[in-house]
Amino acid sequence: MSTTRTRFAPSPTGYLHIGGVRTALFCWLFARKHGGQFILRIDDTDQQRNVQEALEPILHGLRWLGIDWDEGPDVGGPHGPYYQSLRWKWYEEAAERLLASGHAYRDYARTEEVQAEREAAQREKRPFVASRRFIAETDADARRFEADGRKAVVRLKMPREGNLVVNDLIRGPVDFEWAQEQDHVIRRADGSCLYHLASTVDDHAMQITHVIRAEEHLSNTPRQVFIAQALGYELPQYAHLPFVAEPGSKTKLSKRKLAKYLKNREFAQLLEHGRRIADRIGVPADPEAFNPVIVGFYEKVGYLPEALLNYLALLGWSLDERTEHFGRDQLIEHFSLERVNRAPAGFDPAKLSAFQQWHFNQLGTEQKATLALPFLQRAGLVPAPAGGDAERLVERVMAAAGDRLRVAGDIVAFDEFFVPDDQLLYDPKAVDKRLRKEGAADLLRKYRERLATLETFDPETLEHDMHAFLEAEGIQVGQIIHAVRVAVTGKQAGLGMFDALALLGRDRALRRIDRALVLT
């Protein structure tokens, strides 16, 4: 039995899309499940659309997710090169073989002539079929056409009758009528070869056993099967995945429709959450790159790759009706194409956030702090490298924050614990509402005097002492607690008040209260 070999072949024309990485994940899981190899091949045949700068984010995104490749860029392998732009000679040889066997022909029709035939077919409501009026069947034909200023493309000479049945591993038997297929161009007039030829040749050369890809490629299958059979190749097995749909829709998710998706409340909240973190750490909020449809968005704001992998695996696949949380090894153990659904899988921002929260909560405080520390350093709140005291403070804040932290980047929302006391910023509205309220300053001064005498400064002692203060002054907690919070954190909301005081310690808390009293 041959070794299972799958491939992911992205085009370097943009950032790594959620749908694309879901395809890569399923290819990777299938290969790992069956003890095979996962190959990364770069489909850069379209030189006008390729963006070299976009390749590195694709490679980085896969590495961040832990989707490693056995052969491909930066790894090498026995079937390279793994960039299609470096494999032209194999495509040219295949095109010549197809011409020689009569499975392809040189077509000298001009673009406008082909377009006129296409428009006529539309008017007559019939499938467009090339007329083949400008086939160069002999060298004399070619010279005559070229003397007229015509240039040839190479087209497949597709069958005009009969059917092709492809046994798709997800969709079952899929029937294609050959008469519905066009004579597709496989080589342009400038000599460059197109995707259908290149992909088929490379899948054979790289010994791909299973072509697992998005359903949008299902319509490409007949022409690729035709090429493979004409060249005498053994066919791989095909599996076409359901596309990832927009939130609340059955339309394919697109990285170019950000404005539309922001009408979805949960999607808008996901982006706004990320932007708050990005603004604090100085990440440009470029909609091309900083977009929840792009994988890099999640790394930038502190999502766990394990959480994103878990969520992506369930976009179109499930083990059963109950199990939702999977680690990497569990996904490999249980994954199968038989459990992949044919229907579109809707992108649900709230569900993704829930997976992130669950996976984040599985970590210990020290692990969370290790993930959060780089965000504090990028925000200029903790030096790099951080000292022991700074690292311990990060751990203490993480522990106190608990479920308030959904992603590692959320730590920057608690900047009040990391800025020097004399640089703490006070929310003007909070100052007016809480500190300048009648009687608030006097109560705050009295409470400061109590704090200065406390020898133990932990949450339990602080809470007990607050109750004693309330009883002594004959007041309700709301008359003092809000003023204390604003005085020591600059904000109206945040961690529990006694946790916040304990984190700051007595000396820092007293200095901040003194600063706040000046504002009253």
Q: Could you give the residue numbers annotated as active site?
A: 255
Query: 172-177 and 163-168: which strand pairing?
Result: antiparallel
CA dist 384 and 373 (Å) reads 9
User: From CA 296, how far away is CA 303, in angstroms rounded?
Assistant: 10
Task: Dihedral sign for Cα 441, 446, 451, 453, please.
Answer: positive
The Cα–Cα gap between 170 and 339 comes to: 8
- The answer to whether the peptide bond before residue 385 is cis (omega within 30 degrees of 0) is yes
Nearest 5 degrees, angle CA 221-CA 224-CA 226?
Answer: 110
**Contact status, residue 312 vs residue 21, Cβ threshold 8 Å:** yes
Of the candidates 458, 353, 328, 352, the residue with the CA atom closest to the CA atom of residue 405: 353
Residues 33, 297, 494, 454: is their CA dihedral positive or negative? positive
Cβ contact 157:102 at 8 Å? yes
Beta bridge pairs of residue 154? 106, 187
β-partners of residue 106 are 154
Amino acid identity for residue 350 in this structure: A
Phi then psi for 43, rounded to 5 degrees?
A: -85, 85
Measured between alpha carbons, how far is 416 from 494 in angstroms, rounded to an integer? Answer: 10
Q: Are strands 237-241 and 210-214 parallel, antiparallel or unpaired?
A: parallel
Q: ∠ CA(481), CA(483), CA(485), 5° rounding?
A: 70
The β-bridge relationship of strands 37-40 and 5-8 is: parallel
Q: What is the DSSP letter of 408?
A: G
Q: Across the beta sheet with 153-156, what order do the strands follow?
A: 104-107, 153-156, 185-187
- Give the dihedral of Cα atoms 230, 232, 234, 238; nearest 10 deg: -10
Q: Which residue has the tokens 């377009």?
A: 115
- Which residue is associated with the tokens 């020689």? 100
Name the helix (H) or strand (E) containing 143: helix 139-147
